[in-house]
A = this chain, B = another copy of it.
């Protein structure tokens, strides 16, 4: 059992409050040099650490953040989490990690548990467009930040990429390569990234004067497996596409696997572009062309937004959106040397 203020007070023959003030380096503290020395020696000797629970109760602050994501096994979310922790740890915060597997119910129960625990803030990267959990979050008026996906009309503090533009740039890249039948392995229309990247896909067609064939849009979810399943359907069409834009890199990788299995050469028979530029994207073969977004920064910026709210004690409505950046690799251009076109830029509202 760790040592408490009361015990130290008994040993130093002073009142617990005196120890507390010395330990916390209370600025306006007037104390005899002898007493101070005695107490400081005792503190060092015992290695006293204030009980964070008791302190949290009194101070109404736990110094704990929480990150709610679908699955940390997905490299995108792992990198996101690192961003959060790297920003939070130096400021004395620890971070809880909650995986939802994309289930609204698990998300709800996690958020409820986090509320009971009185975490100081929540970063949530698994929200839906219509999300009761997010509405609860708004109502509770604890600080929170949405990352990657936003919710409703986007009235919440948010960090992510410009998905509409990203979807458009990705699709435009394929069209510029001469493809006229471009498929889309889409995200769920109940998720902002899915909806916007799909809209970008359509906008690119319009801009190029092309008609988008609705049959070429297949909802694929976000995992590699669901990407494979959707790709199988897409590639089995009577008139299959010669290029596809996948809503995420994992989906693209699942699709590439299926393409290989079906005897399609990438990029000769089928060009594939993903989204996010996860580390894996540059390692698969052929290297995956994708839209780069600064994943680690998503996390660190979100954490800073949160910490600023906590420290200033006033909510924010800031929305940070990074401009995604086309990375051309071999999955769309044979023999491409992968390179970034520019550094990502952020726009804040």
Contacts and interface: CB of A to CB of B under 8 A. Distances in A.
Contacts of A113: 92, 94
Contacts of A79: 73
Interface string A23-56: 0000000000000000000000000011111101
B99 A96 contact: no
A85 B115 CA distance: 18
Contacts of A62: 53
A10 interface: no
A12 interface: no
Contacts of A95: 96-97
Contacts of A73: 75, 78-79, 82, 279
A52 B116 contact: yes
Contacts of A140: 2
A94 B85 CA distance: 16
A131 interface: no
Nearest to A260: B285
Nearest to A73: B78
Contacts of A2: 115, 140
Interface residues of A, number: 45
A253 to B, nearest CB: 8
Of A66, A79, A116, the most chain B CB neighbours within 10 A belong to A116
A117 interface: yes
B94 A81 contact: no
B49 A57 contact: no
Given A72-B82, A85-B99, A280-B280, A51 B116 contact: yes
A71 B63 CA distance: 22
A175 interface: no
Nearest to A61: B53
B85 A116 contact: no
B78 A94 contact: no
B94 A50 contact: no
A53 to B, nearest CB: 5
A118 B81 contact: no
Contact of A53 (B53, B97, B112): B53
Interface string A79-97: 1011001000100101111
A116 to B, nearest CB: 4
Contacts of A284: 283-285
Interface of A: 2, 49-54, 56-57, 62-64, 66, 71-73, 75, 78-79, 81-82, 85, 89, 92, 94-99, 110, 112-118, 140, 253, 279-280, 283-285
Given A82-B99, A285-B285, 19 more contacts: A2-B115, A50-B116, A51-B116, A51-B118, A52-B117, A53-B118, A64-B96, A72-B82, A73-B78, A75-B75, A75-B78, A81-B97, A85-B99, A92-B113, A96-B96, A97-B97, A280-B280, A283-B284, A284-B285
The 10 closest A-B pairs by CB, nearest first: A52-B117, A49-B116, A97-B97, A285-B285, A52-B116, A53-B56, A53-B57, A73-B78, A72-B78, A78-B78
